[in-house]
Amino acid sequence: MTGHNGKSLHEIFLSNGGRQINKWLHFFDIYERHFARFVGKAPTMLEIGVLGGGSLQMWKTYFGPGAKIVGLDLDQKCSEFAEDQIDVVIGSQDDPKVLDDLLNRYSFDIVLDDGSHQMDHLSKTFTHLYDQLSPNGVYMLEDLHCCYFEGYGGGYKKPGTFLEIVKDCIDQLHATYNSDAKVDTFTRSTFAIDIYDSIVAFEKAPQAERQKLRTGGMGQVRKGKAKP
């Protein structure tokens, strides 16, 4: 899978001679699996966590002309990374006013949370932004191994870590079949939850009523109750 310039995202990363990019190598296959369909389609992407600024340029190169890359970071110095097709907003990802301002200014197709990795920040940002993401967008969170680290508010099976929230989301994805759950906006708008080492990707797509069909030879006699 190649970007707009004919190079894969991995190739763009490895040939980087500009601003710093800090990524785990196994992330790139995951990125391309979920982001390749946006190449050449001028998506608007929010990357939470700017650091050296190089990843903003990487996404710009990958998606091509017309793409808008928005970086969000607390560090005022990150504002110097703004350029054609790249905007940088200074603020905290857990500040509702900052997030509302972003939503008023942009319509996001992709959100990539590579910010503080603090558990309360991950959940607050996801809750605030997910419903406002485009109907066929992707919301991806990375470095979720931090869910196991106390310094980020994590811990093995600790309530409130984002991986525990993901487990609840899996139940909500199946709310149609669960008499103890109620179908909600998340259920109606989520196509898939993809879980990888340190990454979770939520793929959005409007969902219709579930239907099951049965096929077989004409004239067959069917006995007993239909099995699930």
Active site residues: 117
Separation between Cα atoms, residue 49 and residue 39, nearest integer Å? 22
The DSSP letter of residue 174 is: T
> Among candidates 194, 209, 60, 99, which has minimal Cα distance to 138?
194
Separation between Cα atoms, residue 222 and residue 74, nearest integer Å? 64
Contacts of 172 (CB under 8 A, 6+ apart): 181, 184, 186, 187
The DSSP letter of residue 226 is: P
Q: Annotate 36-103 with DSSP letters as a single string.
A: GGGTTS--EEEEE--TTSHHHHHHHHHH-TT-EEEEEES-GGGGGG-BTTEEEEES-TT-HHHHHHHH
Separation between Cα atoms, residue 69 and residue 144, nearest integer Å? 23
Which residue reads 């990487």 in tokens?
Answer: 58
Q: Which amino acid is at 164?
A: E
Separation between Cα atoms, residue 5 and residue 17, nearest integer Å? 16
